[in-house]
Structure 1
Amino acid sequence: MLDEVLIRLDRIETALAAIAEQKATKEFYTTAEVAEIVGRAEFTVREWCRLGRIDAVKQTSGIGRQREWRISHEELDRIRNHGPRPLVARHTKCG
């Protein structure tokens, strides 16, 4: 009897975890949200966006013309699994 209760409790916990994960998933995240999730400073995430190290789009937010970076859920997964892309050196003409 106790084993049956423990098995059912485990199923309930698994189902609740799946529901919580679904609700936590968003289509796009702000730089602040991504920074918190990956354990970095928001400035760092903004720099990754600016330098093209992660795929992000600038979208208008709130009132006014202020545009902020938005990072997709797929890109967040990529960052969590592989980190940002390496910084590519830009060539400049000398002479």
Structure 2
Amino acid sequence: MRADRVFAYGATAGLIADALLGDPRRGHPVAGFGRAAARVESVLWRDDRGRGALHTLVCAGGAVGAAALAARAVRDLSLIHISERA
């Protein structure tokens, strides 16, 4: 499948999902990330560049790691697999 079709299908699905579901009133993922980052900061904070770099690594690395795990978890699900014949 061509990349422009994949993008168009994904963008359309996202637009429809946003129109139907919108943002959750409770448990928004961005707010959850903010709370987690604040907790990490409260543990790691020192007036030091190394600690700031560690905070960035933990927060950004955690987000990337969670996304990689989610992508791996859904990679082989036949319900969301896009057929190569289209």
Please give the TM-score of this superposition, normalised by the length of structure 1: 0.27
- Which entry has the higher C-alpha Rg, 1 or 2? 1
Higher relative contact order (CA 8 A, sep 6+): 2
Higher share of residues assigned helix: 2
Please give the TM-score of this superposition, normalised by the length of structure 2: 0.30
